[in-house]
């Protein structure tokens, strides 16, 4: 189907350092949601940018044909975890077109807060 | 008027499995808002993508001329309901141009949380 | 400067029917934020679409050169008020390019919730 | 890499005039997140638009190569601070392509609220 773009960017990123409420649904998390509506595997590489050091990554993921994956930045570990309570940004690259959305659930206080936006389609 | 696009995608989707507060306004819900600003009927087909199974649908809706419909994924039933507490994504297709926005009201805790974004216009 | 577009659409619209907290900052409201970065007056006409009746409007506003206006749908009165607790959508048209963003503050419960998105740029 | 655009606009802007919760994470703030994925310095100029006076600025920032900066409007001071509890909008200009996202954390009540959107890419 070829729906979407191969390059996406999310300037906002931040993993709250504490949570409140039942786990794991209410754990504070920062998510990148990837939709692969095609009939091929999507090989995705994510690079993380910081304010005061060189970028980390690439973090590599595969999204199967006709599947979505909602990846939590909290869970990224290879090549290194992303620190809490630190400003970051991300660039998502794929070998085939995908669609990307950014969501945060913040449960630092007793009640959770949500935000979401379609990422920026950054194909040259 | 022909305002909008015929293909839209929303990579984020999640129906919280519990709610808090007066019904039905405060029921946790995930909504796709469709605007048909034209003078013709829009025939809309929505396909739901999951992380670990083949897609569900199409779910079919009609939006009358010069009307908006705010469809709750919670209420989808034909051909099958969408399970709670499960990651999904959606692709919205129409026979004429429409405009699509995605909103979630999450009332799992005592106070509700909101998020919204214009969907991704995915015309080829 | 000519920054922006002349046609915008917001499929989501809903004015909560009650509020909680100090007034007027914490009154539940649905807002359309218009930026006119040009050196000319922008003459803006907003049409409101519903699910079960013909559209209302146009509601007319002027945005002076190099000014922003954050218009609350709650305050629309001419030609008619917009009912609470009712799904609607809006189309914003201007005689010169502007930029439009949609924001809701929902304070129906003790703690407020927020959502925002850039509107859909719908120029033909 | 040249990812992004050189002109961006955010019609919504508002700095809440009070906060609740541990500082500085829970201070109410309005943020513009800038990603510079290139190998050159980005020189960024931000102009602030109001509803009833001429624009303020430009506020000047540099974003180093392969870095992100999450700038809080609350902290802007040169040439003048941005008043609290006042509607504003912003235009972000850069000498090289960048990507811009807008986020607000509102902690006026006991529980925080969040909103976010990719800014409007406004290149002529």
d(CA D17, CA A117): 26
Q: Checking phi first, is residue D85 left (phi over 0); if not, alpha (psi -120 to 50) or beta?
A: left
Reply yes or no on whether the pLDDT at D18 is more than 90: no
Minimal Cα–Cα distance from B102 to chain A, Å? 9
Assess B56–A contact: CB distance below 8 Å, yes or no.
no
Q: Which of A106, A116, A103 is nearest to A21 (CA)?
A: A106
Reply yes or no on whether the pLDDT at B45 is more than 80: yes
A46 to A72, A76, A106, B102, B118: CA distances (angstroms): 12, 10, 22, 25, 23
Mean pLDDT of A69-74: 93
pLDDT (0 to 100) of residue B113:
73
Task: Fill in the DSSP letter of residue D26.
Answer: T
d(CA B86, CA B80): 14
Q: Of all helices (H) and strands (E), which one includes residue B7? A: strand B5-10
Q: What are phi and psi of B27, to 5 degrees?
A: -65, 130
Tell me if residue C98 falls in helix, strand or coil.
Answer: strand
pLDDT digits (tens, 9 = 90+) for B92-123: 999 999 999 998 876 665 556 778 889 899 88
d(CA D47, CA D91): 5
What percent of chain B shows pLDDT beyond 90? 65
pLDDT digits (tens, 9 = 90+) for D85-99: 899 999 999 999 999
In chain A the beta strands, taken as DSSP E runs, fall at 5-10, 29-36, 42-50, 56-63, 67-72, 88-106, 113-118, 120-121
Chains in contact with D, where contact means 3 or more Cβ–Cβ distances below 8 Å, are: A, B, C
Assess B117–D contact: CB distance below 8 Å, yes or no.
yes
Confidence of residue D106 (pLDDT cuts 50, 70, 90): low
Candidate ranges A102-116, C105-119, D6-20; pick with highest mean pLDDT: D6-20
Spatial neighbors of D56 by CB under 8 A, at least 6 apart, are D47, D48, D50, D79, D80, D82
Average pLDDT, chain D: 88
Assess C78–B contact: CB distance below 8 Å, yes or no.
no
Q: Name beta bridge partners: C120.
A: C9
d(CA D24, CA B89): 35
ipTM: 0.90
Q: Of all helices (H) and strands (E), which one includes residue C36? A: strand C29-36
Confidence of residue C44 (pLDDT cuts 50, 70, 90): very high
User: Which two three-digit tokens encode residue B90?
Assistant: 């959606």
Q: Residues 25 to 54 of C: which have CB under 8 A from any D CB?
A: 25-26, 31, 33-35, 37
Reply yes or no on whether the pLDDT at C20 is more than 90: no
pLDDT (0 to 100) of residue A62:
98
The distance from CA D34 to its chain's CA centroid, rounded to whole angstroms, is: 8
Q: Do A115 and C117 touch (CB under 8 A)?
A: no
Mean pLDDT of A78-98: 95
Average pLDDT, chain C: 88
Q: Which residue has the higher pLDDT, A1 or D17?
A: D17
Give contacts of D113 with chain B, Cβ < 8 Å: 113-114
Assess A110–B contact: CB distance below 8 Å, yes or no.
yes
Least confident of A1-5, B85-89, D82-86: A1-5
D52: burial class by Cβ within 10 Å (0-12, 13-18, 19+)?
exposed
Give the number of other Cβ atoms within 10 Å of residue D2's Cβ: 12
Q: DSSP alpha helices (H): ranges in chain B?
A: none
d(CA D9, CA D5): 11
Task: Fill in the DSSP letter of residue B21.
Answer: S
Q: Do D70 and A85 touch (CB under 8 A)?
A: no
d(CA A89, CA B47): 30
Reply yes or no on whether the pLDDT at B55 is more than 90: yes
Least confident of B113-122, C20-29, D4-13: C20-29
d(CA C21, CA C14): 19
Mean pLDDT of B38-59: 97
Minimal Cα–Cα distance from B104 to chain C, Å? 9
pLDDT (0 to 100) of residue A106:
67
pLDDT (0 to 100) of residue B16:
76
Minimal Cα–Cα distance from C72 to chain B, Å? 18
pLDDT digits (tens, 9 = 90+) for A20-48: 565 666 567 789 999 999 999 999 999 99
Q: Do A113 and C113 touch (CB under 8 A)?
A: yes
Q: What are phi and psi of B74, to 5 degrees?
A: -55, -30
In D, minimum Cα distance to B118 occurs at: D117
Reply yes or no on whether the pLDDT at C100 is more than 60: yes
């Amino acid at each position: 189907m070829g729906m979407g773009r191969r390059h996406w960017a999310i300037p906002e990123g931040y993993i709250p350092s504490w949570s409140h409420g039942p786990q794991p649904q209410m754990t504070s998390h920062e998510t990148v949601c990837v939709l692969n509506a095609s009939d091929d595997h999507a090989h995705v590489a994510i690079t993380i940018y910081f304010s005061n050091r060189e970028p980390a990554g690439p973090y590599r993921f595969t999204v199967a044909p006709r599947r979505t994956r909602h990846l939590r930045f909290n869970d990224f570990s290879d090549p290194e975890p992303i620190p809490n309570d630190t400003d970051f940004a991300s660039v998502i690259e794929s070998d085939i077109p995908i669609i990307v959305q950014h969501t945060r659930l913040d449960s630092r206080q007793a009640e959770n807060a949500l935000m979401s936006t379609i990422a920026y389609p950054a194909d040259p």
